[in-house]
Amino acid sequence: MNPIYNFGIQIIQALQSMSPTLDGFMKFISFLGTIDFYLLLIPFVYWVISASLGFRVLLLLIGTDFLTLSCKQLLHQPRPYWVGDVKPLATETSYGIPSSHASDSLAVWGYLAYCLKKSWLWAVSILVVLLIGISRMYLGVHFPTDVLAGWLIGLLAIFLLVKGEAWLSPWLKRQSGARQIGIGFAVSIVFILAGWLINLLIAAFPDPPAWADYALKARGISHYLTLGGALFGTVAGYVLMRQQAAFETKGIWWQRLLRYILGMIVMLAIYLGLDVLFGMIAGDETTIGLVLRYIRYASVTFWAIFGAPWVFLKIKLAEHARNEE
């Protein structure tokens, strides 16, 4: 086995020998790095704290996840419990390096801390990012090198957003709303085509038999459709929100609370309802199933970014924005 993997397995074994009472805690910490958690966090930022910040964080998460997924498939490396003597306290069917939990958590929490500039948030963000990385090793699903690579991608994603925004944002603002939506759709198609090309490139390199059975969903383009759909819904929703439903995130506490509760109820209904409905129509990797997956995630983000603010304004849970955020 690769000496780096041997060293990583020794670290994982040491972590897992600490105490079995940590299992539940580490699984909870790991949850904080999942897409399900970000479905709870990012709408809160967008509806309650700052719409422009929430929008950028969502774009950052989508972009970071795209970079991480692309690297996972191009490198197609195993997870620790696939090849070594570690306890699989969680199971994954995608490749190991880089860790998407590590990359996404550093990108999201790091960018929030960078933008809000609160010392307490910096402390919380650093702690959460470190614990998520440790939890992934403790659970036996990532080598230390996977986590480090994920953190590097998270840092790169923040750098690209901060630097790219300075020159790209003024150009985008000069484009019409229809053109901005068209650009969002075009980029979403680029995501999908990139995924198709990556899978074509690695098709000639099958997984070793020793761990091929673990990597059941490691290949394929379904998650690229997820990211493409989420991106298009986000961009289209934000353009329309600015034109027709620009809203203030300020308000008394009960308005903000009701905004979040109502928005989440509808968003989860769309997210879970379309999953059941579309699952009855076609499988994930069929052509129809892939198209439906794109529509599902576009619908979820479109509701969060445009639909919910439009409803908030109609039922007086938010006021029309006076100034750009």
Catalytic amino acids?
A: 101, 142
Give me Rg for the CA atoms of the chain: 20
One-letter amino acid at 75 equals: L
Helix (H, G, I), strand (E, B) or coil at 320: strand
Cβ proximity of 125 and 89 under 8 Å: no
- The CA distances from residue 172 to 181, 192, 291, in Å, are 10, 22, 28
**Within 10 Å of residue 312's Cβ, how many Cβ atoms?**
23
Cβ–Cβ under 8 Å, residues 279 and 213? no
Q: Which residues sit opposite 320 in a β-bridge?
A: 247
| Tokens found for residue 223 | 């998650």
Residue 250 DSSP symbol: -
* Distance (Å, whole) CA 320 – CA 247: 4
3-class SS at 209? Answer: helix
Q: Residue 262 burial (CB < 10 Å; 0-12/13-18/19+)?
A: middle
Question: What span, in angstroms and rounded, lies between the C-alpha atoms of 301 and 43?
Answer: 9
Render the burial of 79-109: b for 16+ CB within 10 Å, e for the rest.
Answer: bbbbbbebbebbebebbbbbbbbbbbbbbbb
- Cis bond upstream, residue 209 (ω within 30): no
